[in-house]
Structure 1
Amino acid sequence: MDWLQRMNNALDYIESNLDEEIDYKKIAKVANCSEFHFSRMFSSISGVSLSEYIRRRRLTLAAFEIQTSDIRIIDVAIKYGYGSSDTFSRAFQKVHGVTPTKARDKGVQLKAFPKISFQISIKGDTEMEYRIENLDFELKIVGKSEPVKTSRAFKKIPTLWNTAKKDGLMQELKDMSWEDPKCKLEGLLGVCGKEAAITDEEFSYFMGVRYEEEPPADMETLIIPPSTWAVFPNIVDAWKRLYSEWVPTSEYELANLPCIECYYGPKHKPRHELWVPVLLK
């Protein structure tokens, strides 16, 4: 499959440049997709952000070199992109549990993170429902944002909504909702990242609603331009299957905009949907 080969070519590029400065735009170019598209697909399929994967691979190779040669620690640090032995030592200890100097002792247990290789298991036994929505107007979303660690997003986001229910934010957002919606984004909205991409260890999760009036003083406003969306029922299932099943086999790629989780009222079917910004390939 061409998509699979391009993704693995990008991984080969990363592997051959671990001791050099890695250009994220170059990675995406090798994969023949946008930087945003590649980063999101990578983190979803692999379960780790692109930056964290690169960091782990570099520290794995650094450990091998320290154990098998008499190279100076500072030289290893510089080789793998660290400006000082102190920052390298902290990063090394966080991954391996010991300092670089201690890693030279015989019998010390270290961690090796192998190179990733993408593969697809074709099942075809479970369909993936979706629809395409074209919104020809700006989405003005008003609400509040909270920081979320990427690795804990699936646990943290439900907690944010539970807190919003207890402290009154959820009811306030409901009271701000409109009676005559322009589109089907008529519920409580969770916008995943105010910026274009989730490539770091933390992103901003924005809880709000579409709102046309002047926002309350304690709330922020997020504007999303006219765009096309692929819409999937069942947010959790959609997130799990989006990058590994739907995107590789569809005629679309991700647009450089945040995804939106839409939570509807108790009588609405489905109860929630994932809105994904897309462009035709």
Structure 2
Amino acid sequence: MEWLKRMNNALDYIENSLDDEIDYKKIAEAAYCSEYHFSRMFSSIAGISLSEYIRRRRLTLAAFEIQKSDLRIIDVAVKYGYVSADSFSRAFQKTHGIKPSDARSSGVQLKAFPRISFQISIKGDTEMEYRIEKLDYELRLIGKSNTVKTNRAFKTIPTLWNSAKKDGFMQELINLSWENPKCTLESLLGVCGKEAAITDEEFDYFMGVRYDGEPPSGMETLIIPPSTWAVFPNVVEAWKRLYTEWVPTSGYELANLPCIECYYGPKHKPRHELWVPVISK
């Protein structure tokens, strides 16, 4: 499967660059994947963040190097991306439970984290509903953004919306969203990654609505170009299955644009949808 080969190409790039600077953009390029989505796709499939995987692999190789060579600890630290012996020692001890210098002692116990390889896993016992929407005009959104830690996104984002409801920001967005209805995205929108790719550790979550006028004081504007979207009901369920089940077999590639969480008003079915930017292969 082409998708599987691409993901393993990215792993090859990582493995060949562990003793050098790793460019996250090049990892995504090796997978022929959008920068916006690769880190999140990796963590969804592997069950570990991309940065943590790289850290563990580097510290595994560093332990081997210390045991098998006479290199100074500082030289091993620099080789695997640490700027000081102290930062390397802290990371090494956190992973292996001992100081780097103690790794040369006979009989010490260390931890080896093996290289990941992606393989086909047969799933799909439960169908995924979706539709394709083509919007031939740019989306002009207004709202506010917050920085969200990726590993806490499912907890943090509902809290942000609850706070917006309490302080009146949500009602302000609702009032603006129907001034000039134009498309099916007339609702509360959560944009995952405002200006740059979703980084491995955190991303900007933009809370807003589609609006063609000037933004009110305190709000900013976000413009998304004409795009094709795969739309899934149930935001949480869609996020859980998007990268592992739908993307590998869909015949679509992810576009280099952010996903949009769309939250509709009362009595609307479904109550919320995930809009995913795609390109037909």
Asked if the contact 1:51–1:199 (Cα under 8 Å) also holds between the matched residues in 2, the reply is: no
Structure 1 187/105 Cα, relative in aligned 2: closer, same or farther at 3 Å?
A: farther
Partner of 1:72: 72
Alignment correspondent of 1:30 = 30
Q: Is the Cα contact below 8 Å between 1:48 and 1:151 reproduced in 2?
A: no
User: What is the TM-score with the length of structure 2 in the denominator?
Assistant: 0.89
- State the Cα distance separating 1:95 from its structure 2 match: 3.9
Alignment check: 8 A CA contact 2:92 2:98 kept: yes
Q: Which residue of 2 aligns with 1:87?
A: 87
Once the two structures are TM-superposed, the CA of residue 3 in structure 1 deviates from its matched residue by 1.7
TM-score by length of 1: 0.89
**Which sections of structure 2, spanning at least 5 residues, go unmatched?**
none
Match of residue 16 from structure 2: 16
Contact 2:18 2:57 in 1 (8 A): yes
1:126 alignment partner in structure 2: 126
C-alpha distance 132-16 of structure 1, shift in aligned 2 (>3 A): same
Which residue pairs with 2:215 in the alignment? 215
Work out the CA distance in 2 between the residues paired with 1:194 and 1:183.
Answer: 21
1:143 matched to 2:143? The reply is yes
Distance 2:219 2:111 in 1: 45
Which residue identity does 2:277 align to in structure 1? P
- Secondary structure of 2:262's counterpart equals strand
1:153 counterpart residue number: 153
The 1:175/1:106 distance shift into structure 2, 3 A limit, reads: farther
Moved more, 50-59 or 148-157: 50-59
Compared with structure 1, are the counterparts of its residues 82 and 185 closer, same or farther at alpha carbon in structure 2 (3 Å cutoff)?
same
Structure 2: distance between partners of 1:37 and 1:164 = 27
Q: Shift in Å at residue 185 of structure 1?
A: 0.8
**Residues 202, 123 of structure 1: CA spacing in aligned structure 2 closer, same or farther, 3 A cutoff?**
closer
SS at match of 1:262: strand
Task: Quote the residue 1:258 is aligned against.
Answer: 258
- Secondary structure of 2:240 counterpart: helix
Partner-residue secondary structure (3-state), 1:118? coil
Is residue 135–residue 226 contact of structure 1 (8 Å, CA) maintained in 2? Answer: yes
Q: 8 Å contact 1:40–1:197 — kept in the other structure?
A: no
Q: Secondary structure at the match of 1:56?
A: helix
For residues 98 and 207 of structure 1, what CA distance do their matches in structure 2 show?
Answer: 45
**Residue identity in the other structure for 2:233:** P
Deviation for aligned residue 1:246: 1.0
Give SS of 1:129's match.
coil
Q: Is the 8 A contact 2:124 2:245 kept in 1?
A: no
Contact 2:39–2:200 (CA under 8 A) maintained in structure 1: no
Q: In 2, Cα distance between the equivalents of 1:246 and 1:68?
A: 44
Counterparts in 2 of 1:32 and 1:266: CA distance versus 1, 3 Å: same
Task: State how far apart, in whole Å, the 1-side matches of 2:165 and 2:114 are.
Answer: 43
Amino acid in the other structure paired with 2:53: Y
For residue 205 of structure 1, what is the aligned residue in structure 2? 205
- For 2:51 and 2:11, locate their aligned partners in 1 and report how far apart those are by CA, in whole Å: 13
Give deviations 1:132-159, integer Å, cap 9, x for gaps: 1111222111111111111111111111
Counterpart residue type for residue 275 of structure 2 = W
Q: Could you tell me which residue of structure 2 aligns to residue 164 of structure 1?
A: 164
How far the C-alpha of 1:69 sits from its partner, in A, is 4.6
CA contact (8 A) 1:144 1:219 kept: yes
| 1-structure distance, mates of 2:35, 2:175 | 38
**Offset at residue 243 of structure 1 (A):** 0.9
